[in-house]
Amino acid sequence: MDKKQTLKIIKIGGNVIDDAEALASFLQLFSSIEGPKILVHGGGKSATTLAQQTGLAVKMVEGRRITDAATLELITMVYAGKINKTIIAQLQALDCNALGFSGADANTITSVKRPVSTLDYGFVGDVKHVETSTLELLLEHDISPVFCAITHDKKGQLLNTNADTIASELAIGFATQFEVELYYCFEKQGVLKDINDDDSVIQTITKSSYKKLLDAQLIFSGMLPKLNNCFHALEHKVSKVCIGTPEMLLDSEAIFTTLTIQ
């Protein structure tokens, strides 16, 4: 049996998105990665800043944005417009041919509006299906898809969707065709044992050690959704999942966190 080709799916967020210099440095690095690759980006801080400038109230519950109709309109402009197209333009300047995507484009990511239980998140989508056929054609022609954190319900409604989840679901969607490596890049070197100590990186987290870290309350609450997405990907045949600074993508000496099932 022929060995599967490696596909790298890289999600960037945090200060990497919000700092122009950090973003430019990351995109230089991304453009130099050989082989098929997909970029997924967040943009929550930029959306919050614009909301404050326009007088739109920002509603957050446990780190998750409540997305009413006005907020959805704003984040669509920021995520799918300003941030996505700025990234595309900068990649083109680096001779990395890229194409911007929301989940609605080519029907790539279909979601359903999160049901109301104790809390109404508004126009927030939970991913139900990833369609890879169009993306495969682009990858075959050395075009790198760049996804923002917007999906759709195939009924005409756009939905705000967690970018970490989009990266994880894309990785799972490609896991039968490729050897998929999933990287979550942000400003820290990895998952920290002590949130106040940037050098306390936990370099390997297994499913069992993750449970122990949770029981000991050693994982910062804001990291929990990301780690849950990591293990969700590993449980669905994604071959490698890592968290750290962008340097982990090319620097063999870089310190970062690797997640494993065993």
Is the Cβ–Cβ distance between 146 and 158 less than 8 Å? no
Cα 190 from Cα 89, distance rounded (Å): 29
Strand, coil or helix: 219: coil
Buried b (16+ CB within 10 A) or exposed e, 210-242: beebeeeeebeeebeebbebbbbbbeeebbbbb
Average pLDDT over residues 3-20: 90
124-178 pLDDT, tens digit per residue, is 999 999 999 999 999 999 999 999 999 999 999 999 999 999 999 999 999 999 9
How many domains, in total, are found in the chain?
A: 1
Q: Is residue 214 part of a domain?
A: no
| CATH number for the domain harbouring residue 183 | 3.40.1160.10
Q: Is residue 58 part of a domain?
A: yes
Strand segments, DSSP code E, in the chain are 6-12, 37-41, 60-61, 64-65, 98-101, 109-113, 125-130, 144-147, 150-152, 158-160, 179-185, 204-206, 240-244, 257-260
At 138, the amino acid letter reads L
Cα 9 from Cα 183, distance rounded (Å): 6
Q: Is residue 76 part of a domain?
A: yes
pLDDT at 62: 66
194-220 pLDDT, tens digit per residue, is 888 999 999 999 999 998 888 888 887
154-169 pLDDT, tens digit per residue, is 999 999 999 999 999 9
pLDDT higher than 50, residue 121: yes
As given in the structure block, the two tokens for residue 229 are 């997405």
Q: Is residue 204 part of a domain?
A: no
For 183, the domain range is 6-190+245-254
As given in the structure block, the two tokens for residue 149 are 């954190």
Q: Is residue 237 part of a domain?
A: no
37-83 pLDDT, tens digit per residue, is 999 998 878 888 888 898 888 887 766 778 999 999 999 999 999 99
Q: How confident is the model at residue 1 (pLDDT cuts 50, 70, 90)?
A: very low
Q: What is the DSSP letter of 62?
A: T
Is the Cβ–Cβ distance between 178 and 5 less than 8 Å? yes
Q: Is residue 71 part of a domain?
A: yes
Q: Is residue 218 part of a domain?
A: no
Cα 232 from Cα 237, distance rounded (Å): 9
Q: Is residue 117 part of a domain?
A: yes
Strand, coil or helix: 99: strand
Is the Cβ–Cβ distance between 108 and 131 less than 8 Å? yes
